[in-house]
Amino acid sequence: MALRQSSLLALPGELRNRIYCDYLFIGAEDGYIYDYEAGKLRTADMQPIDLNLMYTCRLIAAEMRGLALRLHTITFSTVFSEQLRPIASLWDEVFVGHYLSSDLDEYVPLMKDEMAEEVRRRYGQTHFYTTFCRMRAEGIARDVHYDHLHQAICGFGEPPSVFRDIACDVLQLASTDPAIHAAMMNWETKEFRRKWNPSVWYSTLRAPWKFPTGPELARIVDQGASSTIKRWDINLHADDVGMYRVSAASAAIRFLSSVPGARQHLRKIVLHEDHVAAAHPECHVRGLVPFCHENPALRIERRVSLWRNLFLLCRDSEINTAYEVLFGDACERLFPLLADTITRRVAMWMVEAALPEIPDAITLVLDGDPIPERTALIFDEVVQRDAAWQTALDRTFTPEAGAHPHDVFYKRGVPPFQFVGFPELLRDLSERRQGGRISCNFDPGRTWDEGRVAAVAEANGGRDRDVTAWTQAWEREGEGYETAPPLPPFHRLLEDLVKPGTTLESLEA
């Protein structure tokens, strides 16, 4: 008996495609979201995606292949679960607890001339190389003339991920010298020396966006972390007070890596960085760059919440944050959003988003909701001011201006200097220039004109005062900002960083 032709297949191809699109939008009007634990996409209300029409025949399946991904925006948010929390806590400790600046201070002076020449070949045109030469010749970390020397080593004004790349590369190079390799391990146990792999360890520190599984993290730690330090035991991190999360960018990287055959169909991804995440989340966007190169039609919008994420990072540590939360109403008076801590965090996200390697297809949105007016006030009074101070500092302490060589070298290491290129990025944001990778949903304020910038230098005595004196003049001595309705007081926002049920007694135990 002859098979009856489907009425759908009898329609013109253009009409069939319209029907496919309408079908795929039913129940998925708001696009898809990623279920991290299941490793699957779902509708915005967490329902399974209905693709049953695809399975009716091979021709329809072929015509619909990839259409759902092309039509819908895929949204990723920060991820939390009790199962992931200890892994995220230890992953964060891998980066926060390992001081690359200390490694450089210890091992750079031991590097032989041939290695130093290789460093010059790779980084001779960077400020890092100037720092590297000072460390070899003078050991600047031991110079106590300035208060902020550690910044000269652990950042030198470049985006933090750029510093980590260079530092890890140099330390990997150093570890190939048997004498330095031995020095790196001479304080450790024989078991640790047998396992330690500097290539694995320093490669790991260059890619914090590669959030591992538990077994993967155990192998990384086994080859790179001190066997005598208890904090490297993943089981102990179950008791941490912090609410450690996986960034939306890391979640997207995990998904894209799992669907090599389908990701070519994707057209738009939205990353909601709606909570604080582990392991330098501001740079995790770098892990998405290969996918944009592979799929030139892909567009990625990353939205970072200032009040639920970025501003909450302006603290000393999770423990201090926990104390602030648990002290209750007193915190409202004692612990506002401190003015001196704001700009560096804002600048950090901006300079990481603007790295040359980041394609225009990846954009960053600074989200000031739900109180855009208060956010605008902070940007106008704090962020714009600090950008002007950096500009004035940078112009004042130059060899051409006759500044002291120490001040020329260390100016990048003092708090008024945020990051190279930050004032220019803020100016572009303020002027709403087309084509920029960074935008915001509030008024970012006006850039200070040349007269106001010059007035900063004049008021601080120009180069006649050193960079430490400039820092003292820059500081705002406890000045801070509170939230506004509908948000709770700022210290209550910090509860998002602390595990429910945490008590003062548990912190002090």
Give 139-150 pLDDT, tens digit per residue. 654 444 444 444
For residues 229 and 352, membership in a common domain is answered with no
218, 239, 260 - which closes a domain: 239
Within a domain: 125: yes
Among residues of the chain, what percentage have pLDDT more than 90? 47
In angstroms, the Cα distances linking 9 to 13, 68, 70, 310, 452 are 8, 19, 22, 52, 70
pLDDT in tens, 172-197: 999 999 888 887 776 555 555 556 67
Q: Which residue has the higher pLDDT, 225 or 386?
A: 386
Q: What is the mean pLDDT of residues 259-284?
A: 96
Place of tokens 């200032």: 306
Q: Pick 321 or 156 by higher pLDDT.
A: 156
Instruction: Say if CB 508 and CB 331 are below 8 A apart.
Output: no
Q: Is the dihedral of CA 430, 435, 439, 443 positive or negative?
A: positive
Structure tokens of 364? Answer: 């960053």
Q: What is the pLDDT of residue 277?
A: 94
228 and 89, same structural domain? yes
How many independent structural domains does the chain possess?
2
pLDDT in tens, 246-269: 999 999 999 999 999 999 999 999
Final residue in a domain of this structure, among 174, 208, 239: 239
pLDDT of 46 higher than 50 = yes
SS3 track for 122-191:
HHCCCHHHHHHHHHHHHCHHHCCCCCCHHHHHCCCCCCHHHHHHHHHHHHHHHHCCHHHHHHHHCCCCHH
The percent of residues above 70 in pLDDT, for the chain, comes to 83
Q: What is the mean pLDDT of residues 387-414?
A: 88
- Whether residues 349 and 212 fall in one domain: no
Using alpha carbons only, give the angle 143, 146, 151 rounded to the nearest 5 degrees: 90
pLDDT at 159: 92
Q: How confident is the model at residue 43 (pLDDT cuts 50, 70, 90)?
A: very high
What is the pTM (predicted TM-score) of this model?
A: 0.90
Asked if residue 266 lies in contact with residue 295, where contact means CB atoms within 8 angstroms, the answer is yes
CA distances from 32 to 27, 29, 41, 278 (A): 10, 9, 6, 24
Band of pLDDT at residue 325, cut at 50, 70 and 90: low
Choose among 215, 305, 247: nearest CA to 76: 247
Please check whether residue 218 lies inside any domain of the structure.
yes
Largest CA distance in the chain: 99
- 3-state DSSP percent of the chain in helix, strand and coil, to 5: 55, 10, 35
CA distance 491 to 114: 53
Strands 337-338 and 480-481: antiparallel
Opening angle at CA 75, ends 69 and 77, nearest 5: 150
Q: What is the pLDDT of residue 408?
A: 85
Report pLDDT for 228: 42
Higher-confidence residue: 461 or 355? 355
Q: Is residue 21 part of a domain?
A: no
Per the domain annotation, does 130 fall within a domain? yes
**What would the 3-class secondary structure string for 162-181 be?**
HHHHHHHHHHHHHHCCHHHH
Residues spanned by the domain of 155:
85-239
Q: Note whether residue 249 is domain-resident.
A: no
Tokens matching residue 297: 């039609």
pLDDT in the model for residue 332: 52
For residue 378, is it within any domain? yes
Q: 79 and 39 in contact (C-beta within 8 Å)?
A: no
Least confident of 158-172, 187-201, 212-226, 329-343: 187-201
Q: Comparing 314 with 237, which gets the higher pLDDT?
A: 314
Which ranges constitute the DSSP H helices of 37-124?
Answer: 58-64, 67-71, 85-96, 100-107, 113-123
Say whether pLDDT at 5 is over 70.
no
Residue appearing with tokens 């705002």: 476
Phi and psi based region of residue 499 (left: phi greater than 0; alpha: psi -120 to 50; beta: remaining): beta
Q: On the CB side of 322, how many CA atoms lie within 13 Å of its CA?
A: 18
Q: Closest Cα to residue 100, out of 249, 247, 233, 205?
A: 205
Q: What is the pLDDT of residue 34?
A: 97
Q: Tell me how far the alpha carbon of residue 360 is from its chain's centroid.
A: 18
Rounded-to-integer distance, Cα 96 and Cα 90, Å: 10
* Dihedral of the alpha carbons of 200, 206, 212, 217, in degrees to the nearest 10: 40
Residues 233 and 341 in one domain: no
223: buried, middle or exposed (CB in 10 Å: 19+, 13-18, 0-12)? middle
Query: Is residue 331 included in any domain, yes or no?
Result: no
Whether 51 is in a domain gets the answer: no
Between CA 419 and CA 168 the distance in angstroms is 20
* Mean predicted lDDT score pLDDT of the chain: 84
Highest mean pLDDT among 30-44, 423-437, 453-467: 30-44
Q: Find out whether 73 and 57 touch, Cβ atoms under 8 Å.
A: no
Question: Residue 410's pLDDT band (boundaries 50, 70, 90)?
Answer: confident
Same domain, 235 and 343: no
Instruction: Give the per-residue pLDDT at 381.
Output: 95
pLDDT score, position 3? 42
Tell me, what's the pLDDT at 219? 82
Return the pLDDT at 343.
95
Answer whether residue 391 shows pLDDT above 60.
yes
Q: How far apart are CA 216 and CA 105, in angstroms?
A: 30
CB under 8 Å to 19, separation ≥6 — which residues? 8, 11
Check residue 115 and report its DSSP letter.
Answer: H
Most confident of 307-316, 317-326, 459-468: 307-316
Same domain, 355 and 216: no
State yes or no: pLDDT of 434 exceeds 80. no
Beta-ladder partners of 498: 242
- Domain boundary at 198, 223, 239, which? 239
Q: pLDDT-based confidence at 236, cuts 50/70/90? A: low
